[in-house]
Amino acid sequence: MHELDAPQRRALADAALALLEHLYRRDAVAPLHTPAPNTLVEAMRAAPPEAPGDVETVLQQLQAAAETGWNKRVGGDLAYVPSGGLYSGAVAALLAAGLNVFTGSAFETPALVALEEGVLQWFARLLGLPRETEGLLLSGGSLANQSAVVCARERGDFDPARSVAYLSARAHHSLHKALHLAGIAPAQVRALACDDQGRIDLADLHARLAADRAAGARPWLLVGTAGSTDTGSVDALAALAALAAQHGLWLHVDAAYGGAFALTERGRTLLDGIACADSVTLDAHKGLLLPFGVAALLVRHPGALARAHRGRGDYLRDVPALPGLPNYFERGPELSRPFRGLLVWLPLQLHGVAAFRAALDRSLDLARSAHARLAALPALELPLAPALSIVVLRARAGDAATQALLDALNASGELHVSSTTLDGRVTIRLAFLHPRTSAAQIDAVERIARATLGGERA
Ligand X SMILES: Cc1ncc(COP(=O)(O)O)c(C=O)c1O
Is 137 a residue that touches ligand X (CB under 6 A)? no
Q: Which residues contact 207 (CB under 8 A, 6 or more apart)?
A: none
Among 78, 92, 150, 256, binds ligand X (CB under 6 A): 256
Is 234 a residue that touches ligand X (CB under 6 A)? no
134 or 254: CB nearest ligand X? 254
DSSP letters of 102-147? Answer: --SSSTTSHHHHHHHHHHHHHHHHHTT--TT-EEEEESSHHHHHHH
Write down the least CB distance from residue 140 to ligand X, Å: 3
154 or 254: CB nearest ligand X? 254
Is 453 a residue that touches ligand X (CB under 6 A)? no
294 residue type, one letter: V
Return the DSSP state at 328: G
Is 235 a residue that touches ligand X (CB under 6 A)? no
Write down the least CB distance from residue 172 to ligand X, Å: 3
Write down the least CB distance from residue 231 to ligand X, Å: 11
- Measured CA to CA, the distance from residue 160 to residue 163 in angstroms comes to 6
| Phi, psi dihedrals of residue 33, rounded to the nearest 5° | -135, 130
| Number of residues in contact with ligand X under rule CB under 6 A | 15
Positions in 161-190 near ligand X (CB under 6 A): 172, 174
- Measured CA to CA, the distance from residue 271 to residue 364 in angstroms comes to 14
437 or 452: CB nearest ligand X? 437
Q: Which stretch binds ligand X (CB under 6 A): 134-142, 161-169, 204-212, 434-442?
A: 134-142
Is 419 a residue that touches ligand X (CB under 6 A)? no
Write down the least CB distance from residue 254 to ligand X, Å: 5
x/- track of binding to ligand X for residues 93-132 (CB under 6 A)? ----------------------------------------
Nearest in space to 433 (alpha carbons), one of 408, 412, 416 = 416
Is 229 a residue that touches ligand X (CB under 6 A)? yes
State the alpha helices, DSSP H only, in 3-102: 6-27, 38-44, 55-66, 87-99
Write down the least CB distance from residue 175 to ligand X, Å: 8
Nearest in space to 267 (alpha carbons), one of 234, 297, 225 = 234
Is 257 a residue that touches ligand X (CB under 6 A)? yes
**163 and 222 in contact (C-beta within 8 Å)?**
no
Is 417 a residue that touches ligand X (CB under 6 A)? no
Write down the least CB distance from residue 229 to ligand X, Å: 4
| Phi, psi dihedrals of residue 452, rounded to the nearest 5° | -85, -40
- Measured CA to CA, the distance from residue 206 to residue 213 in angstroms comes to 11
267 residue type, one letter: G
Is 432 a residue that touches ligand X (CB under 6 A)? no
347 or 395: CB nearest ligand X? 347
**205 and 166 in contact (C-beta within 8 Å)?**
yes
| Phi, psi dihedrals of residue 36, rounded to the nearest 5° | -95, 115
Among 32, 74, 81, 392, binds ligand X (CB under 6 A): 81
Q: Which residues contact 216 (CB under 8 A, 6 or more apart)?
A: 162
256 or 409: CB nearest ligand X? 256
Is 284 a residue that touches ligand X (CB under 6 A)? no
184 or 223: CB nearest ligand X? 223
For binding to ligand X (CB under 6 A), which residues are involved? 81, 140-142, 145, 172, 174, 225, 227, 229, 254, 256-257, 283, 295
